[in-house]
Structure 1
Amino acid sequence: MADSRIQSRNRAAILEAGLEIFSRHGFRGATLDQIAAEAGLSKPNLLYYFASKEAIHRTLLLGLMDTWLDPIRRIDPQGEPLAELLAYVSRKMALTRQYPRESRLFANEILQGAPHIADTLSAELKTLVDALADQMQAWIDAGRLAPVDPHHTIISIWALTQHYADFDVQVRAVLDSDDPLDRAEAHVTQLFQRLLQPVD
């Protein structure tokens, strides 16, 4: 049976509250009481929708994984290699701007050893990354991309894009800026353009 409008609204409120509390306090520091208060619901009401803190956390993470993997799925093997990879960088920067709390939620999960999504990381994420690395190597072998290590280049893209969300306070302090992303995308894109430009 489909959820009623009220049930759908309450589930959405719980997930939004969970995102806020988990991204602020991490999984271990978050409590059901905090999430219920943030959602404007009683704890028993919250437990009607989700049996545990773990259930809320895993629901958020699995939804996030789909969002996080979409940019890599959109890379076209038939496209122009440099343009496809720079578009990937741009999409990752857009996620950093649009979903900073989600990025921190994911980072906290990884720092804890990925106890709730280890199966997804070792399956779907690795499969997608290996396929992209193979495609990048084919482009390199064809002289269409600079000779870089594909896997480490992908990890470098993650590091340079997600850092702006995961370490937002540090970035703002160093740059003394209320909007550190206003110039970040152009800078990061330029770095990878130079790195990936095929050698003539």
Structure 2
Amino acid sequence: MDEAAAQPDPAQDEEARPRTRIQRRNTQAILDAALEVFSAQGFRGATLDQIAEVAGLSKPNLLYYFASKEAIHVELLSGLMDTWLDPLREMDPEGEPEAEIMAYVRRKLQMARDYPRESRLFANEILQGAPRMRAAIEGELKDLVDEKAEVIRGWQAAGKIAPVHPYHLIFSIWALTQHYADFDMQVRAVLGPEGADPFPEAGRFLDTLFGRLLAP
């Protein structure tokens, strides 16, 4: 037996060892700080020094938990994908078609309200060509959209909703909901005082817009 192969791997031991409460707290502080910095500065504009400062840690301490800026970014993005896809996963093929699509619109608008930093993180990654998410976008995301597009086609074939291109319907839902997170400052500046909370009126507008679009 190869003696070297029999030796324990220190890196694996470190990964297998349960993290202490302080380690878990610091890891979460780094990820929260990185989300703030990346969503504002983008990947290229963000620095480890900025992330460490927002996290309230020294840069050497940060590097104890994550080896690089990219490692932090990848960790954030990998956790984001499930959150991003869950609203579409909830679209029920056995449900009432227009109600299911309108519920999806509402869930996406709620995500724009509750997770604006995550939305901007995702948008920044896409604008850069998705170098750290391409596999997930071309795999998991595309597979789910393909699946739901077939559901929408089935509803159209049954005459339950108007004939619209299913992919462009989904794209339009993304565009008209995520806009309120990605362009929050612009939305509030244009609306002025009445834009203090644009989401209730946005919800009513989107209900009307997609309700008319989908009516058979």
Using the size of structure 1 for normalisation, the TM-score is 0.97
- After TM superposition, give the deviation of residue 20 of structure 1 in Å: 0.3
- After TM superposition, give the deviation of residue 195 of structure 1 in Å: 0.7
SS in 1 for 2:163: coil
- After TM superposition, give the deviation of residue 153 of structure 1 in Å: 0.2
1:151 and 2:175 matched: no
1:33-52 aligned within 5 A: 33-52=49-68
Q: How many residues align?
A: 198
Residue number among 180, 183, 187 corresponding to 1:171 in the alignment: 187
Residue number among 4, 14, 24 corresponding to 2:40 in the alignment: 24
SS in 2 for 1:145: coil
- After TM superposition, give the deviation of residue 179 of structure 1 in Å: 1.5
Q: Name the % identity.
A: 65
Instruction: Give 1:62's aligned amino acid.
Output: S
Instruction: Give 2:203's aligned amino acid.
Output: E
1:9-158 aligned within 5 A: 9-158=25-174
- After TM superposition, give the deviation of residue 173 of structure 1 in Å: 1.4
Residue number among 156, 181, 200 corresponding to 1:182 in the alignment: 200
Distance of 1:59 and 1:197 partners within structure 2 = 42
Tell me the equivalent position of 2:3. Answer: none
Instruction: Give 2:214's aligned amino acid.
Output: L
SS in 2 for 1:192: helix
Distance of 1:168 and 1:138 partners within structure 2 = 36
Runs of 4+ deviating beyond 6 Å: none
Instruction: Give 2:56's aligned amino acid.
Output: G
Tell me the equivalent position of 2:4. Answer: none
SS in 2 for 1:147: coil
SS in 2 for 1:11: helix
- After TM superposition, give the deviation of residue 182 of structure 1 in Å: 2.8
Instruction: Give 2:53's aligned amino acid.
Output: A
Using the size of structure 2 for normalisation, the TM-score is 0.90
Instruction: Give 1:72's aligned amino acid.
Output: L
Structure 1 window deviating more from structure 2 (171-180 vs 126-135): it is 171-180
Distance of 2:79 and 2:208 partners within structure 1 = 31
SS in 2 for 1:102: helix
**Which is higher, the Rg of structure 1 or of structure 2?**
2
Tell me the equivalent position of 2:212. Answer: 194
Instruction: Give 1:116's aligned amino acid.
Output: R
